[in-house]
């Protein structure tokens, strides 16, 4: 089964650290009495880099913690002209103290541009220059060397990150060849955009074409469209894992996911709904519809946990669906971008990476044009 490591949003982190509960239920998925239990999570060193994170969050040893190194935050700050100093050795020590799996400190070749007056950044479809690509790759390799030479804990599994960025498809080959000789326990890819099924399939199948058959993590997927690709890939690469903040983003904008129809929005300024929306493990324990409209730890927490349940429930559905070839085919054929992703996977398995890429005409396009 695909290993899914959700990234908790601030309200869930706060509730866990301060032992804030909802009528006896922990507002997380790993406590003594959660609405439901799930065995993994992802935490970012830049945002939660205190050395005793696992202890402060009351995360038991049975929970798999994936530690993201914070490379994206370095680029985000640089794009906005703000200083930042993430030391690779400090990141490694934090991962050794708190994590089961750690990501190397990478500098992605994605082109980040400031938006909304410089308060945030967004990925541009325009690729970075070749010089900037090489600069970030050099910096990543230096960080990899720090990780390789200074590790102390044999329990931490380190995953080597491979990027394709937004440039020509050959860029993933260049990146891989520079980092492949570092001695780590697994691999990670970071497709951009993270919600495009074809791009996720291409990055993962590149790794497959280079002999990677186990311990692959797909960083930061977005939305539900990518999960079917990972379920298919899990037949070729085991274990395959991923993380997502999508459920948390939806909670922040007070979006309540539903598989039955339009999503619901619980905004205090426009109270529209008077009935509990579903009977999932979260909603079945919610005492009042008014709790979904709250803008405190409880309101954001229960919406986020419901949304996470939807992801996990959908993933379980896909794991069952793929067991029947006819049913899976009907599902895939309903979505063109998903169909193309599955077709590409099959082409690489049957014909090899180079022929599959050539057949789809990807060599002539930048990733932003796929």
231 domain residue, yes or no: yes
In the predicted model, is pLDDT for residue 24 greater than 70? Answer: yes
Strand partners, 34: 26
- Could you report the per-residue pLDDT of 257-301, keeping only the tens digit for each? 987 789 999 999 999 999 999 999 999 999 999 999 999 999 999
CATH number, position 47? 3.20.20.70
In the predicted model, is pLDDT for residue 83 greater than 80? Answer: no
- Could you report the per-residue pLDDT of 137-193, keeping only the tens digit for each? 999 999 999 999 999 999 999 999 999 876 678 899 999 999 999 999 999 999 988
- Rounded to an integer, the average pLDDT of 95-102 is 95
362 confidence band (pLDDT: 50, 70, 90): low
342 domain residue, yes or no: yes
* pLDDT for the residue numbered 176: 97
244 domain residue, yes or no: yes
The CA angle 179-180-182, to the nearest 5 degrees, is: 75
264 domain residue, yes or no: no
203: closest CA among 351, 364, 28, 348?
A: 348
292 domain residue, yes or no: no
- Rounded to an integer, the average pLDDT of 80-91 is 86
294 domain residue, yes or no: no
Q: How many CB atoms lie within 10 A of CB 135?
A: 14
* pLDDT for the residue numbered 131: 93
Strands 25-26 and 40-44: unpaired
68 domain residue, yes or no: yes
Quote the domain boundaries for residue 225.
3-252+309-369
Mean predicted lDDT score pLDDT of the chain:
92
* pLDDT for the residue numbered 167: 62
- Could you report the per-residue pLDDT of 201-241, keeping only the tens digit for each? 999 999 999 999 999 999 999 888 999 999 999 999 999 99
- Number of domains into which the chain is organized: 1
| Angstrom distance (rounded) from CA 75 to CA 190 | 14
Distance of CA 343 to the CA centre of its chain: 23
291 domain residue, yes or no: no
| Angstrom distance (rounded) from CA 257 to CA 263 | 5
The CA angle 139-145-151, to the nearest 5 degrees, is: 135
DSSP string, 76-143: HHHHTT------HHHHHHHHHHH-SEEE-------EEEEEGGGTEEEEESSPPPHHHHHHHHHHHHHH
* pLDDT for the residue numbered 166: 63
* pLDDT for the residue numbered 370: 40
């Amino acid at each position: 089964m695909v290993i899914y490591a959700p990234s908790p949003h601030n309200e869930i982190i706060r509730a866990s650290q301060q032992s804030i509960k909802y009528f006896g239920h922990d507002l997380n998925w790993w406590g003594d009495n959660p609405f439901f239990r799930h065995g993994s999570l992802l935490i970012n060193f830049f945002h939660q880099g205190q050395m005793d994170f696992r202890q402060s969050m009351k995360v038991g040893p049975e929970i798999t913690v994936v530690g993201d190194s914070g490379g994206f935050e370095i680029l985000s700050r640089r794009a906005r002209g703000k200083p930042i100093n993430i030391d690779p050795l400090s990141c490694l020590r934090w991962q050794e103290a708190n994590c089961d799996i750690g990501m190397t400190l990478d500098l992605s070749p994605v082109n980040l541009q400031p938006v909304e007056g410089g308060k945030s950044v967004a990925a541009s479809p325009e690729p970075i220059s070749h010089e900037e690509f090489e600069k970030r790759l050099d910096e990543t390799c230096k960080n990899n060397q720090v990780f390789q030479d200074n590790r102390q804990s044999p329990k931490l599994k380190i995953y080597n990150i491979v990027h394709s960025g937004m440039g020509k498809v050959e860029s993933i080959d260049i990146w891989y060849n520079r980092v492949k000789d570092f001695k780590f326990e697994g691999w990670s890819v970071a497709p951009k955009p993270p919600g495009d099924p074809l791009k996720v399939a291409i990055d993962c199948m590149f790794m497959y074409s280079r002999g990677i058959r186990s311990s692959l993590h797909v960083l930061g997927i977005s939305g539900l469209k990518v999960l079917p690709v990972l379920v298919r890939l899990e037949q070729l690469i085991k274990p395959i894992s991923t993380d997502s903040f999508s459920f948390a983003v939806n909670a922040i904008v007070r979006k309540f996911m539903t598989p039955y129809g339009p999503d619901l929005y619980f905004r205090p300024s426009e109270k529209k709904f008077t009935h509990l929306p579903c009977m999932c493990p979260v909603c079945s324990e919610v005492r009042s519809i008014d709790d979904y409209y709250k803008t405190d730890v409880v309101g954001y927490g229960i919406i986020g946990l419901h949304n996470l349940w939807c992801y996990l429930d959908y993933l379980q559905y896909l794991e069952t669906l793929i067991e029947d070839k006819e049913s899976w085919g009907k599902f895939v054929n309903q979505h063109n971008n998903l169909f193309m992703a599955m077709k590409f996977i099959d082409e690489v398995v049957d014909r090899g990476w180079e022929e599959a890429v050539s057949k789809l005409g990807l060599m002539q396009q930048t990733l932003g044009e796929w």
